[in-house]
Structure 1
Amino acid sequence: MSISPITKKEFDCFQSLIYEHAGIYLAPEKKVMVAGRLAKRLHFHGLTSYGEYYRLLSKPEFADEFQIMVNFLTTNETYFFREPKHFDFLRTTLLKSWQGEHFNAWSAACSSGEEAYSLAMVLAETLGRKKWDILGSDLSTRVLDTARNGIYPMARLEQMDPALLKKYCLRGVRSQEGFFRVDESLIDRTHFEQINLMHSLPNKLIKHFDVIFLRNVLIYFDQNTKKAVVERIVKALKPGGYFFISHSESLHRVTCDLEMIKPSIFRKNDRSTL
């Protein structure tokens, strides 16, 4: 059964759908990517056009298909200790002088969990017996399942300190050769939830975190969406808390509640009323 090429009108429908749901803008040049990723779902349902699949998404009996579509269209590229200078700052500057009793970190848009577990290794190494917890969140249920399992291919470890690899990663053998599992002590203190950054945050998260990582996601938002998302997430930071974005991103004209400490690292104003 052959599938008709995606039309501009059909692409526009999916472009609007993912923008309204996730704030992600799919540029026109992403048309081939959208068609390629969704073709598997058309084959699965025995459909021959993308318009048919778009209409299927609105049918109550296919309610779960919408999340599957979101999983296919969201980009999830990450690895352990990506942009290592952020983890160096966390280790040598922020945590070195931290005097609190319970440190809470949020890896927002955590993808398959590598960033969250990288944070966990740093906290485990630096905070000793002090209490700490990490929340990882993403829109995609597929990558969250991977994160909860904590099993990854060895290829994801290029940036990891060999000492951390030896201490916190269990190498697979026989059928699991080429993979490793994050140590149970880290999995126990790192939990994952599906959170849509386009929606209001649960009250339990407001002013809860000492550190928030929101990296390599703002590049997918237009200026208005970026401003709304950042202002929403900053509410979850404690006054004086730290906010990390990717070195390739900017908060220019986005919020006045964050002071830049150095490029890509910001601190929430102590007197913020957010």
Structure 2
Amino acid sequence: MAGTAPAPPPVSNEEMRLFQQLFYQQIGMHLPESKRALLSSRLSRRLVALGLPNFRAYHDLIAAPGEREERQRAIDLITTNETFFFREIGHFAFLSQKVLPSFSRTDTLRIWSAASSTGEEAYSIAMLLDNERHDAPWEIVGSDISQRVLDSARQGVYPMVRGENIPPADLKKHCLRGTGQYEGQFLVGKHLRQRVEFTQMNLTALPARLKPFDVVFLRNVIIYFDAPTKARVLANVTHFVKPGGYLLVGHSESLHGIQLPLQMISPSVYRKL
């Protein structure tokens, strides 16, 4: 009987420093010392799968220019993706009560879910827009650094427990309950999945081709950056908010001390000047 593959050795101080530098250079992510155990647990499976002796060998592999696929796999494993439908409901109320009534029904409303993770935020916005702008044009773009979560978002399949915050009427109108092998899951309706575009983006280096948006959701992501990267990401994203448009950040996030052409409407809602 074949023996169980030995577990990789612990992450050394030098290896931790190398991964900190690599993830910072690649995606601007600040990986504090407190995340050493997380890094070890999430990347160790790749060391075992590839037959590598230690974390230094894995770092050297994914740092190589030709190893883009494995490097993306490591980014997918190390980035935390936690979200749910209609998270921070006050932002959806603001969109419904303040933004939509003032927006022309002949112009195309463009909204960006800039850290969309597995898609719950983007589909929550889509449900609201389908309800309130069904006869008016709108577009939603969802982006993330992780290709893995974007693939999941495009599928639009979620455990039923993830739909607890979806209003029952919206769950009935916009989602299909799974049966058979999909028991305990639901599927976001095709009429919404076709309206949301999911694409990979690095917030520290956004593509110049990106068209500006009327509303940008940038929630619960800048907390993962150090101060210089946070300022750069906010400047990058704000550049693609139309004048008079809105930037929404997480309720626990602050833009204090960062010079941007934004007027605070509430502690987590800003309007571009």
State TM-score, norm by structure 2.
Answer: 0.95
Whole-Å Cα distance in 1 between the matches of residues 93 and 13 of structure 2?
Answer: 46
Whole-Å Cα distance in 2 between the matches of residues 37 and 204 of structure 1?
Answer: 32
For the residue of structure 2 that corresponds to 1:244, the secondary structure is strand
Cα shift at 1:59: 3.9
Cα shift at 1:201: 2.8
Q: Does 1:220 align with 2:224?
A: yes
Q: Does 1:231 align with 2:235?
A: yes
For the residue of structure 2 that corresponds to 1:198, the secondary structure is coil
Whole-Å Cα distance in 2 between the matches of residues 43 and 193 of structure 1?
Answer: 30
Cα shift at 1:61: 5.5
Q: What number of residue pairs does the alignment pair up?
A: 267
Q: Does 1:108 align with 2:109?
A: no
Cα shift at 1:231: 0.7
- Structure 1: gaps spanning 5 or more residues: 270-274
Structure 1 stretches (4+) deviating beyond 3 angstroms? Answer: 58-63
- Which of 168-177 and 149-158 deviates more? 149-158
Alignment-derived partner of residue 255 in structure 2: 251
Matches within 5 A, 1:1-274: 1-2=5-6, 3-59=8-64, 62-100=67-105, 101-205=107-211, 208-269=212-273
Whole-Å Cα distance in 1 between the matches of residues 138 and 264 of structure 2?
Answer: 25
Question: CA 1:251–1:60 in 2, change beyond 3 Å: closer, same or farther?
Answer: closer
* Contact persistence 1:230–1:255 (CA under 8 A): no
Whole-Å Cα distance in 1 between the matches of residues 167 and 188 of structure 2?
Answer: 14
Whole-Å Cα distance in 2 between the matches of residues 200 and 144 of structure 1?
Answer: 17
Question: CA 1:89–1:80 in 2, change beyond 3 Å: closer, same or farther?
Answer: same
Q: Which amino acid aligns with 1:14?
A: F
Whole-Å Cα distance in 2 between the matches of residues 75 and 256 of structure 1?
Answer: 27
Cα shift at 1:67: 0.4
* Contact persistence 2:235–2:260 (CA under 8 A): no
* Contact persistence 1:250–1:264 (CA under 8 A): yes
Whole-Å Cα distance in 2 between the matches of residues 259 and 191 of structure 1?
Answer: 29
* Contact persistence 1:168–1:183 (CA under 8 A): yes
- Structure 2: gaps spanning 5 or more residues: none
Cα shift at 1:60: 5.4
Whole-Å Cα distance in 2 between the matches of residues 158 and 22 of structure 1?
Answer: 32
Q: Which amino acid aligns with 1:198?
A: T
User: Structure 1, residues 234-265: CA drift from partner, whole Å, max 9, x if none?
Assistant: 11111100100000000111233110111100
Cα shift at 1:38: 0.2
For the residue of structure 1 that corresponds to 2:67, the secondary structure is helix
Question: CA 1:127–1:79 in 2, change beyond 3 Å: closer, same or farther?
Answer: same
- Which of 59-68 and 157-166 deviates more? 59-68
- Which of 195-204 and 212-221 deviates more? 195-204
Q: Which amino acid aligns with 1:264?
A: S
* Contact persistence 1:137–1:193 (CA under 8 A): yes
Percent identity for Structure 1 against Structure 2: 45
For the residue of structure 2 that corresponds to 1:104, the secondary structure is strand
User: Structure 1, residues 114-159: CA drift from partner, whole Å, max 9, x if none?
Assistant: 0000010111111121000100000000000001111111111121
Whole-Å Cα distance in 2 between the matches of residues 54 and 239 of structure 1?
Answer: 43
* Contact persistence 1:134–1:191 (CA under 8 A): yes
State TM-score, norm by structure 1.
Answer: 0.95
